[in-house]
Structure 1
């Protein structure tokens, strides 16, 4: 099963640079992760750029970095580790590790248009976003809007449970529109630098 989705993601990254997959991994996994995220109480304001500067005029979500701790988080991290290995093998990428965090957007929270690759850095190569929101409907806000490199509109993604978005970090500016109700996701990046412990 995973090989099929890994192949689909790989083909899309080569052809157009991004992919949005609904019913991507497992509805059950997304609900277990949502339950875990709701229990977690150690969320902190998210920073801007590699300096991790807090700027609430540009970004208002709160985050908690994920570790492979043997819980349901490990099941998700095993899936993305398989994807990392597949991308390295099939596209001859040198992705060294994956970092990720839970993100909570409360009512009114947003994240302005940005690139995931930091300026003058090629560390983040491939971005993933995995949504955990059960019964999300149109009008609940919090959509991910992806733009072309020239700034023109490309795609709007509703943050519905078990939807996975994967794209090239340096290529696609994107933003999160203001949430109307609380919104949960896992944002992550495949990197090519050395992991700092």
Structure 2
């Protein structure tokens, strides 16, 4: 029987993205959500920036979410558990797609009510090593009227695009090729929490 990791790899190979519900246990989801809440209360989050290095800057007209990067050398037990799950995804994708993925980087992402991130690609000139985007949603509940969808623009063979809106439902994992699928976070009417990260071809 095909494992969930193999299913993700097969869908990445076939259509460049995969959506898996209940990827993590409810216990792990609520633990990570509480950890995020405690870190937020401790003042650890910062406004997200765009660009890299000298070009890095906060531009709230492009994105106005808040992030807290995770330190791979200093992960909490819950973060470590999630990291291990993502590593199984990494190995399955390597086995199926030969992408040479070596490592993962990630951060907690908090979108306060009213925040958004305009259309963009996760792989750009300064970060060519980001090959696969991996998102896990931690929200307790989400309804259509809460909005805040992840909108993906899927390229079609005729040059047009198909729009796919994904609800940030707790426990849902979204995986896609960072350099191939433009996407945005539509304005949210409720606080929206995830761990967003990238599988990379560097250590």
Same fold (TM over 0.5): yes
Structure 1 residue 148: deviation in Å? 1.9
Change (3 A) 1:188 1:121: closer
Q: CA RMSD in A?
A: 1.7
Normalised by the length of structure 1, the TM-score is 0.91
Tell whether the 8 Å contact from 2:151 to 2:186 is kept in structure 1 after alignment.
Answer: yes
Equivalent residue runs for 1:34-183 within 5 Å: 34-41=33-40, 42-50=44-52, 51-68=55-72, 69-119=75-125, 121-149=127-155, 150=159, 152-183=161-192
Structure 1 residue 189: deviation in Å? 0.3
Q: Partners of 1:30 and 1:4 in 2: how far apart?
A: 20
Q: Partners of 2:56 and 2:105 in 1: how far apart?
A: 15
Q: Single out whichever of 80-89 and 106-115 deviates more from structure 2.
A: 80-89
CA displacement, residues 38-85 of structure 1 (integer Å, 9 cap, x when unaligned): 111300111112233210000000000113424211110111112212
Q: Partners of 1:113 and 1:138 in 2: how far apart?
A: 21
Q: Single out whichever of 172-181 and 118-127 deviates more from structure 2.
A: 118-127
Q: Partners of 1:93 and 1:182 in 2: how far apart?
A: 34
Q: Partners of 2:80 and 2:126 in 1: how far apart?
A: 32
Change (3 A) 1:49 1:120: closer
Question: Structure 1 regions of 5+ residues with no counterpart?
Answer: none
Report the secondary structure of 2:140's partner residue. Answer: coil
Report the secondary structure of 2:3's partner residue. Answer: helix
Matched, 1:32 2:31: yes
Q: Partners of 1:43 and 1:120 in 2: how far apart?
A: 23
Q: Partners of 2:120 and 2:200 in 1: how far apart?
A: 18
Structure 1 residue 141: deviation in Å? 1.7
Tell whether the 8 Å contact from 1:31 to 1:161 is kept in structure 2 after alignment.
Answer: no
Tell whether the 8 Å contact from 2:13 to 2:96 is kept in structure 1 after alignment.
Answer: no
Question: Structure 2 regions of 5+ residues with no counterpart?
Answer: none
Aligned residues: 193
Q: Partners of 2:140 and 2:31 in 1: how far apart?
A: 11
Report the secondary structure of 2:9's partner residue. Answer: helix
CA displacement, residues 137-165 of structure 1 (integer Å, 9 cap, x when unaligned): 11112110000235623311111100000
Normalised by the length of structure 2, the TM-score is 0.89
